[in-house]
């Protein structure tokens, strides 16, 4: 009888312990849920008072939202804003953009860099017009299937245009969440991205996905900066482990980047009868499909004689050389020079001869538009160039 009572009491204790632990777990879960809801609300109230007034935030038109997202990839807002206005004015609907000539789009894109985006812009517009009759699809998966649209852009359109609960994950968002959680893995690793996605899914209230996405991106752009975060005024500082540990700038953790490959590029600024030669780049590589001065890539700096096979009869004594500032791309460092000269013979290469007045009708990479802008005097004086002092600048 005595042992039976002990066994019964032990079972009772185990049962009660299980119930207590279950209640504690449920309580902890509820607290966690409430904290995540608190993050959403804090971000919302902060954004409503501190968010920037930007044109694409006043529309639910998926075309304008998509356009803004493509323009702002790898681009600051102040830099991208004039391009947004230019594109929406020139191409007010996706039909207008889909029917645009490639050269027109590249010319309008000129100066933004990452020209593959302009190519994707056209391709996506044509797909939306032909496949969906000019109406962007209203589901995340269909948006993701469009050419040139990845998970971030699909989530942005889905939430901003159609109010669907898909968190956006861009560089700003990754930085904010990596600091809140003190993620110990490299930010682009699968482990880190999975942690970020879980946190965002838990924090976003499904009824207000657009404002949550706008708010957390804005937080990363204005407060949670890479080098000098303003933690003291951050609305969710109480939820940030990196702030509490005093090490916000230690996160996110990034893998060391490989050294940029150095590319030496020589341009021929060849003049003939008041016109200069240009050529169109190929479909692949940097500045794909843009126009440029005839160019040759070399592993080392080159001299003007490299252009003799293209411009026969080229005088090696009558020319000027311009050394361009180092031009940095994501994985390359371009060191370029321009050789200015006159020629009387036709080029043994497919080029077009255009007058200075026609220059703005073509889309050139930024490295050349900047050079043209800084050397307008050379354009004005090209008919009477004095080459008596070769290899000098104007």
Q: Give yes or no: 284 in active site.
A: no
Closest CA to 250 of 271, 229, 219: 229
332 Rama sector, left if φ>0, alpha if ψ -120 to 50, beta otherwise? beta
Residue 384 has pLDDT above 80, yes or no: no
User: Cβ distance 136 to 143 under 8 Å?
Assistant: yes
pLDDT tens, position by position, 128-149: 999 999 999 999 999 999 999 9
Band of the pLDDT at 297, cuts 50, 70, 90? very high
Q: Which residues pair with 188 in a beta bridge?
A: none
Q: Report the chain's mean pLDDT, rounded to a whole number.
A: 86
Active-site residue, from 69, 104, 142, 185: 69
The reported pLDDT for the residue numbered 291 is: 92
CA 199, CA 218: separation in Å to the nearest integer? 17
pLDDT for 112-130, tens place per residue?
Answer: 877 788 889 999 999 999 9
pLDDT digits (tens, 9 = 90+) for 165-178: 999 999 999 999 99
> Which are the contacts of 126, defined by CB distance < 8 A and separation ≥ 6?
98
CA-closest candidate to residue 109, choices 82, 127, 134, 129: 82
The pLDDT assigned to 5 comes to 53
Mean pLDDT along residues 87-111:
94
pLDDT category of residue 391 using cuts at 50, 70 and 90: very low
Percent of the chain residues topping a pLDDT of 70: 86
Least trusted range by pLDDT, from 229-233, 239-243, 245-249, 296-300: 296-300
> Which conformational region is residue 273 in: left (phi greater than 0), alpha (psi within -120 to 50 degrees), or beta?
left
Question: How high is the pLDDT of residue 35?
Answer: 66
Which domains are seen in the chain, by residue range?
55-250 (1.10.340.30), 261-384 (3.90.79.10)
Indicate the pLDDT class of residue 387, thresholds 50, 70 and 90: very low
The sign of the CA dihedral 34, 39, 45, 48 is negative
């Amino acid at each position: 009888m005595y042992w039976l009572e002990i066994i019964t009491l032990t079972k009772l204790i185990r049962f009660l312990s299980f119930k207590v632990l279950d209640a504690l777990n449920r309580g902890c879960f509820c607290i966690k849920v409430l904290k995540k809801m608190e993050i959403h609300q804090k971000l919302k109230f902060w954004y409503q008072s501190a968010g920037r007034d930007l044109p694409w935030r006043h529309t639910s038109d998926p075309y304008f939202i998509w356009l803004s997202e493509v323009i702002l990839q790898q681009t600051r807002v102040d830099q991208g804003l004039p391009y947004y206005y230019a594109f929406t004015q020139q191409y007010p609907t996706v039909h207008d953009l889909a029917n645009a000539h490639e050269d027109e789009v590249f010319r309008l894109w000129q100066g933004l860099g990452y020209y593959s985006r302009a190519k994707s812009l056209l391709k996506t517009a044509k797909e939306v017009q032909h496949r969906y009759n000019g109406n962007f699809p209203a589901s995340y998966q269909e948006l993701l299937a469009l050419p040139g649209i990845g998970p971030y852009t699909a989530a942005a359109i889905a939430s901003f245009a159609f109010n669907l609960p898909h968190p956006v994950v861009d560089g700003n968002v990754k930085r904010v969440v990596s600091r809140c959680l003190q993620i110990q893995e490299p930010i682009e690793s699968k482990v880190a991205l999975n942690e970020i996605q879980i946190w965002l899914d838990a924090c976003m209230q499904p009824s207000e996905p657009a404002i949550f996405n706008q708010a957390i991106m804005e937080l990363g752009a204005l407060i949670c900066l890479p080098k000098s975060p303003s933690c003291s005024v951050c609305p969710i500082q109480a939820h940030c482990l990196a702030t509490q540990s005093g090490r916000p700038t230690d996160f996110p953790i990034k893998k060391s980047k490989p050294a940029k490959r150095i590319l030496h590029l020589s341009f021929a600024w060849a003049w003939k009868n008041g016109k200069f030669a240009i050529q169109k780049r190929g479909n692949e590589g940097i500045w794909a499909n843009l126009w440029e001065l005839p160019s040759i890539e070399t592993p080392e700096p080159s001299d003007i004689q490299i252009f003799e096979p293209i411009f026969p009869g080229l005088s090696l004594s009558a020319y000027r050389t311009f050394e361009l500032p180092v031009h940095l791309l994501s994985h390359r460092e371009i060191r370029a020079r321009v050789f200015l000269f006159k020629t009387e013979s036709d080029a043994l290469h497919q080029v077009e001869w255009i007058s200075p007045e026609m220059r703005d009708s073509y889309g050139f990479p930024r490295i050349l538009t900047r050079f043209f802008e800084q050397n307008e005097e050379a354009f004005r004086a090209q008919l009477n160039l004095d080459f008596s002092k070769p290899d000098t600048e104007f």
